[in-house]
Amino acid sequence: MTATIIDGKAHAAALRARVGTGVEAFVAATGRKPGLAVVLVGEDAASAVYVRNKGKATVAAGMASIEHRLSADVDQDTLLALVDRLNADPAIDGILVQLPLPTQIDERAVITRIDPDKDVDGFHPVNAGRLAIGIDGFVPCTPLGCVMLLKAVCGSLSGAEAVVIGRSNIVGKPMAQLLLRESCTVTTVHSRTRDVAVHVRAADIVVAAVGIPGFVRADWIKPGATVIDVGINRTVAGLVGDVDYAGAVEVSGAITPVPGGVGPMTIACLIRNTYVSACRREGVAIDPAI
């Protein structure tokens, strides 16, 4: 058996195209473009690349991209004052403060200062609570993209046994909640789990988000399982995921590559969340295809 390779670039391009169509209708209805404000603090090279890519995708979808770059030594009050101004700006529908932040900044204070209805990253505690109890809010972009890929490949996820490896607030926890929402039976494993392999071998769906290169071995994977590899690890061999891809591709039914799998969907879902925010704020119908 050789797995189907899940082309995240193609799925992301299709989602961005659908969002672009929705944005055209939004502009026609309101006379303005949806606006995404991205705040970058400092000169972290990886963060700068992410911000640049997000800006390009925003503009390509017909939206307004607004960037605010602050020095690495900026104080917390200045950053919070900027967030307050963006919260109050009617032209801004989404606010994203690029993480990580310098050590003098309390990330939680910044995240919780963002208006939950403009929190297109989905990190605010209000949005985490909305997800947990099934109220419409914003879901973190990476797990949202993972679910979209799973549904595109598998169709209905109802009844599937799913294992999420990792319990971060950004990926692991919301991923488990989203899979529960799809009526999966969900197990979350983590650094204190006694035998990770036992749980993974029983799973129809494996989502690896642990940040350890090649952590998930091929002999852990149930034949025919769908594997979503969220890991992006820089090694001497280049970018690799959390799954032993060379081995897993021979036993799984479908698998995301690294790079080119989950990553492109993360940015596409950010654009999608910004469009949804704009529609909600203006009372415009959201395109059901998005």
Residues annotated as part of the active site: 54, 98, 121
Q: CB-based contacts of 280: which residues, under 8 Å, 6+ apart?
A: 117, 286
116 to each of 112, 122, 283, 290, how far by Cα in Å? 8, 8, 17, 20
b/e 137-171 (16+ beta carbons within 10 angstroms → b):
bbbbbbbbbbbbbbeebeeebeebbbbbbbbbebb
236 to each of 50, 239, 240, 262, how far by Cα in Å? 21, 8, 10, 21
Where are any strands of DSSP class E within 60-172? 64-70, 94-97, 161-165
**How far is residue 202's CA from residue 196's CA, in Å, rounded to a whole number?**
11
Classified as helix, coil or strand, 226 is strand
Where are any strands of DSSP class E within 4-160? 4-5, 35-41, 64-70, 94-97
